[in-house]
Homo-oligomer: A and B are copies of this chain.
Amino acid sequence: MTEYPPFAVTADLVVLTVRADELHVLLVRRGVPPFEGCWALPGGFVGIDEDLPDAAARELAEETGLPEPAGHLEQLGTYGQPARDPRGRVVTVAWLALLPGLPTPVAGSDAAAADWVPVNRLDRARLAFDHGRVLTDGLERARAKLEYTPLATAFCPAEFTVAQLRAVYETVWDTRLDPRNFHRKVTGTPGFVVSVGRNTEGERGRPAQLFRRGPATLLHPPMLRPPA
C-alpha cells in the first residue's frame, strides 16, 4: 500500500438533542493545537482495523458516557479539503446522532470538556476545522428527515406523549404547529406511533396517552414543514 497516497481518517459526530425547548449540539473544547481553545465536534481517528460505523459508535459512547442506548446514528458525509487540517491530509467521515434529552448530564464522560450548546446561540464560523459546515449539513439533514421518517422519536424517551413529540418538531424546525391537527396526523399515520395503553399522571390538564415508536420506517403521508 505504500504506492498510494496516505491519508488519516477520522470520525466526527454531530450529536443533537432537545433540552428545554432548544436544540443542542454536543461540542468539545479543544485542549491542544490546532484550534486550541475552540469548540469542535467530538470525534477521533479511525483505527486501522476498525469499521467506520464502529468508530462512530465508539466515539459516541466515549463522548456521551452512555453505552449507546436509545437514539439514532447515520452517516452524514465525508469532508476532505486538503487544507482542512494543518497537521496533514485528514479526511473525516461525519455522522449524525439524535439522542433523547439526557436526564443525566454528560458527567462521567471521557471528554471532560464536552458540553451541550444551543445551536441557535452558537457562531458556527468559530468552530474548529470545517465543523461549522458539517454542523450546518447535519442540521439540515435532521430537519429534512423529520418530514418523511419517524426520526423525531429518537429525540424522545421510549414512552412519550403526542405533545412531547410535537415539541420536538417545533424545536427542530423552529416553528409552531397546531396541536389538534398534529395529533390527528401523528395518530393517523400508519406505524408512526403505537399507544401503550397508559396515561400520564400528575401533570397539569387532562392526562395524555403514552405512545412508543411504531414499526414504520417511512411516513405515509409525511409530516410537512410549514412553507416559508
Contact B227 A5 (CB under 8 A): no
In the complex formed, the residue of B with least CB distance to A147 is: B148
Size band of the A side of the interface?
A: 20 to 34
Listed from nearest, the 5 A-B pairs whose CB atoms lie closest are A5-B48, A1-B88, A6-B6, A4-B8, A52-B80
Within 33-59 of A, Cβ neighbours of B (below 8 Å) are at 45-52
- Shortest C-beta distance, A159 to chain B (Å), equals 30
Name the residue in A46, A51, A79, A80 with the highest tally of chain B Cβ atoms < 10 Å from its Cβ: A80
CA distance A86 to B45 in the complex (A): 22
Q: Which chain B positions have C-beta within 8 A of A227?
A: 220
- Given A4-B8, A6-B6, the answer on whether A93 and B80 have CB atoms closer than 8 Å is yes
Interface string of A105-148 (1 = CB under 8 A from B): 00000000000000000000000000000000000000000000
Interface string of A88-109 (1 = CB under 8 A from B): 1111010000000000000000
